Chain A
Amino acid sequence: MQRRVFVKSGALALVTLGLSPSFLRRTAFGAELVGTQKGKTLICLFQRGAADALNLVVPHGEQAYYAMRPSIAIPRPSARGTGSAIDLDGFFGLHPALAPLKPLYDQKLLAPIHAVGSPSATRSHFDAQDYMETATPDRKGTPDGWVNRLLAVEGTCDECKAPSAFRGVAMSSQTPRAMQGPAETVAMNSIEQFTIRAAGAQTERLEALYRTGSADLVHGAGREMFEAVEMLRAANPQRYQPRNGAEYPRTEFGRRLLQIAQLIKADVGMEVAFADIGGWDTHVNQGGSTGQLANRLDDFARSIAALVTDLGDKMDDVVILTMSEFGRMARENGNRGTDHGHAGAMFAIGSAVRGGKVHGKWPGLEREQLFEGRDLALTTDFRAVFAEVASGHLGASKLGEIFPGYGERKSEWVGLL
């Protein structure tokens, strides 16, 4: 039995004993685990606020795109270049601020997926993020996130004798919905801050406070924390500095991706990492080739490019997947911005990814092709992408449990891996 399940089962009498055999075994193996993990890692990057997919992966071959976006459209690719879309395949192009990702596309490491998203028609950020993170569109009662379910029902590292405390790591102060649930996950602002600032005896007493008492939410999180702190101290990820000339932007997002790279290099047994980047809700003065959205994309693209450079050969074991709760209206609004829309775009990056190709079926932008006459229509359910990555990259087999009400549906996969 996994210890967390044991704690959460509410077996009060047993837990108050504190030192169950599984706890002892667990921490002992925690030390051995370092350096032996051969697992794969999925890095989920959530663009909160609904990124404008049509200006990220620009359908420059669509006349309707330019007709609907007179002040914010990205110009067609041109030889003279700056400020125009960076052509990918003669029909789609990248926003010019995504230039750092173009080499990854050329090396066939990166694949955009277009017209992908949630079948739910909601245009509420909070509902749509909830649906994407639980992977149950239009079902709000789902108690756990899809990442957590994946960790709970699958062990991706057969040779590991005990699961790592760092199987799921969110680089954020709060656990994202996708990682909430019965499996043990860690949320941290930074590696550096993940330590108790007390002398040993005081730390021991604090730990004892959490190891006694009832098996509630606070005690459970406290116990996990003390173990995780100790394991991270032993692994010391911060000794790894960026390699291969990788230069992370000095931004919150850049800093978080740098630390994800450090955790991967330290082999702490991380199977899924999660980080957010906000600022995509561009209702007003979104900008075109430059401006508000371009500035967000600059941070986004340079951070991801640095991560890929830094990880180098380790990208053989890593897939990066970007996501956003929905896209934005095809037509610009009255404030040179875009209101909430429907389908969006994702990026998948990794050696295992079939890159150098825009995946997904393009629905077109003519009025009758738009969802509800206003938004990019959906042709790929985001769960098809999640399921393909969970299965193909992480080796998950229980897709029916990870994606309740959806399951495997291989016929919907886009052939990403």
Chain B
Amino acid sequence: MSPKNVLHLLALGCTSLFASAGVDAQQAPAAAHREQAADQQVLHALNRLAFGPRPGDVQRVRAMGLDQWIDQQLHPERIPDSKVQQVLARYPTFGRQENALLQQYADAQRDRRQIRADSGASMSRQDSIVLRQRGEQLRGVVTDLQSAKVARAVASERQLQEVMTDFWFNHFNVFIRKGGPQPFYMRSYEQGIRERSFGKFRDLLGFVAKSPAMLFYLDNARSMADSGQPTAASIAMQTRMNAPGRRRARQNPAPRPQQQQAQRRRQGLNENYGRELLELHTLGVDGGYTQQDVIEVARALTGWTIRQPQEGGGFIFRPVMHDAAPKTVLGRRLAGGRGIEDGEQVLDIVARHPSTAPYIATKLARRFVSDTPSTALVDRAAATFTRTDGDIREVVRTIIDSPEFFSASAYRSKVKSPFEVVVSAARALGAEPDPTPRTAGAIALLGQPLYAHQAPNGYPETGGAWINTGSILNRINFGLAAAAGRLPGVSVATSPFDAQLATAQREQQVDAVVSALLGGSVSPDTRAILLSGDHPMIASGAVERAAQQSQMAEPEESMEPMQPRRAAARNMVLGRPGEIPRLQGLAQIIGLALGSPEFQRR
């Protein structure tokens, strides 16, 4: 360790329980510019490129070699992951094709309309039971999706792929409670993102642009040429009518059903997706586009819509809805008379626009390195993006290989999102994936209901947005509940710890918990607080509170005899007594560790 690093660690007040020796010094060719100690690097990588370490992960990564592990994680297809498939099979709606669920939804909607029409105000009991049962089946779709997301993050061996899937889903956020068929578009949407999460940005963008989930969420499915504009269909018909020698042209005068349907509705442009495509998905809000660009992009994407559920519900381009007049997008002229290629060209333009590379690079650097990534890091990542035509794997590799990634200032500098808090706790405690919706429910209570961020900008990435008095309180309460064994799939009494640990000395218990939950190193103060009830901070706090208590509190019922100081502290019971988990020994230390400031960071 260089003197500079030693100083930095001292400044942080940290003591490392790991000896720096014993790690293969030559494992990393890039290690020369890594400021973090070797053991810190392993933990750091598991906290940033995975959802935190499980029991034994540190040793496994160390044995494999950190760089080999990183390389493997960058190639998820090389990592066997059969266990996750078994876990997913436990969620009932995952056993059925999403198309079939969509069809069922459409049938239910039709039946509902039929029943309403037939029965007027008075619906028969039987009918209302049928409708309610269908509603419950469909609700299962949402909770299964949420539970499966947690289960993958907890149990998948392809950790970085899950991190990237989470990142890109959030980047291309859709809201599961938009209404209508939205829940039935989500599973394939996320899977498509997962499969492209290390691919070319343009492919990912194109997948999203054609996904029913996004087309429905941002209303592009409903956007069509304003009345008066020539449509691709009308131009095609005109061409056929006018073309010499095209005798068959007149044989098709009757409008097709979809044309009739489109004509029934009033025509009109919807800018919603066009705007977010520029503002949130590619150029960024300061990326240099105008309101006119938004309109032109929206026009280019008219006709990109969704088949009816009865027809399978997938993407379809409908020429009758497409505005075929010429357009100018970001200074590039799109000729008139075209169809789906308008939208494809727009996606080409925005994916390769000079503002897109730094915008995407900034978001990735913020995710992986720091809330305030340096310009130098963003520039390098953006350069890779441009050089490789948006090869995401290479951009991520540039970020991981940067000196900033393993810098001392990056260590534990990111604040965990609620999802990361809960998943990292489950992993650290060796949890089995939860077959119930309870774990996902805990994440929602902490402020991050999954798939349920209403706005297209996704959940925040920076710590300031997640940390406030209320959120710290909820995180502490989550930690206490988890320590009390309320987190499904976790048996705190034993797992991940040796059975004998339950009866071991407190010092050994603290060491084990610090190792499993806090990365092996905590400040001396934290260690003292975990070890005993005699830390000066605790004593003085109790005295102060006891003084306060005597001034203002109603008398509380008497408790079992205890030391005066402890009695004063116990009188400060907060909340309803029935809800307070009694934590003893090891579980108490786990509750403290999960609620500690250190655990809120990664």
Within 8 A of A (CB), among B454-468: 454-455, 457, 460, 463-468
B480/A201 in contact, CB under 8 A: no
B575/A335 in contact, CB under 8 A: no
Residues of the A chain whose Cβ atoms lie less than 8 Å from the Cβ of B1: none
B551/A31 in contact, CB under 8 A: yes
Q: Mark B540-578, 1 if CB is under 8 A from A, else 0.
A: 111011001001110000000000001011111111000
> Which of B271, B415, B460 sits near A217, CB closer than 8 Å?
B415
Chain A residue nearest to B600 (CB atoms) is A218
Which segment, of A121-129, A150-158, A304-312, faces chain B? A121-129
A193/B581 in contact, CB under 8 A: no
Residues of the A chain whose Cβ atoms lie less than 8 Å from the Cβ of B480: 196-198, 202
Which segment, of B207-215, B509-517, B587-595, faces chain A? B587-595
B219/A284 in contact, CB under 8 A: yes
Chain B residue nearest to A332 (CB atoms) is B268
B537/A18 in contact, CB under 8 A: yes
A200 vs B538: C-alpha distance when bound (angstroms): 11
A121 vs B294: C-alpha distance when bound (angstroms): 14
Given A208-B537, A217-B463, A218-B601, answer yes or no on A124-B285 (Cβ-Cβ < 8 Å): yes
Residues of the B chain whose Cβ atoms lie less than 8 Å from the Cβ of A333: 268-270
Check if A398 is an interface residue, CB within 8 A of chain B.
Answer: no
A102 vs B193: C-alpha distance when bound (angstroms): 50
Within 8 A of B (CB), among A316-375: 333-337, 339-340, 372
Check if A207 is an interface residue, CB within 8 A of chain B.
Answer: yes
B526/A198 in contact, CB under 8 A: no
Number of chain B residues close to chain A: CB under 8 A: 85
Q: How far is the CB of B295 from chain A (nearest CB, A)?
A: 10
Q: Mark B215-240, 1 if CB is under 8 A from A, else 0.
A: 00001001110100000000000000
Chain B residue nearest to A331 (CB atoms) is B268
Residues of the A chain whose Cβ atoms lie less than 8 Å from the Cβ of B498: none
Check if A204 is an interface residue, CB within 8 A of chain B.
Answer: yes
A233/B537 in contact, CB under 8 A: no
A174/B219 in contact, CB under 8 A: no
A201 vs B559: C-alpha distance when bound (angstroms): 14
Residues of the B chain whose Cβ atoms lie less than 8 Å from the Cβ of A340: 271, 275
Given A31-B551, A284-B222, answer yes or no on A197-B574 (Cβ-Cβ < 8 Å): yes
A182 vs B110: C-alpha distance when bound (angstroms): 54
Within 8 A of A (CB), among B273-327: 275, 279, 285-286, 291, 294
A213 vs B530: C-alpha distance when bound (angstroms): 14
Within 8 A of A (CB), among B356-404: none
Check if B493 is an interface residue, CB within 8 A of chain A.
Answer: no
Given A198-B583, A333-B268, A335-B219, answer yes or no on A218-B415 (Cβ-Cβ < 8 Å): yes
Residues of the B chain whose Cβ atoms lie less than 8 Å from the Cβ of A24: 544
A174 vs B566: C-alpha distance when bound (angstroms): 35
Residues of the B chain whose Cβ atoms lie less than 8 Å from the Cβ of A334: 222-224, 226, 265-270
Check if A195 is an interface residue, CB within 8 A of chain B.
Answer: yes
Given A174-B447, A212-B525, A228-B469, answer yes or no on A200-B457 (Cβ-Cβ < 8 Å): no
A408 vs B569: C-alpha distance when bound (angstroms): 50
11 A-B pairs whose Cβ atoms sit less than 8 Å apart in the complex: A197-B579, A199-B573, A202-B583, A202-B588, A206-B592, A206-B595, A209-B595, A210-B597, A214-B12, A217-B415, A218-B601
Minimum-distance CB pairs A-B, first 7 = A334-B268, A212-B525, A173-B447, A208-B537, A195-B575, A225-B469, A200-B569
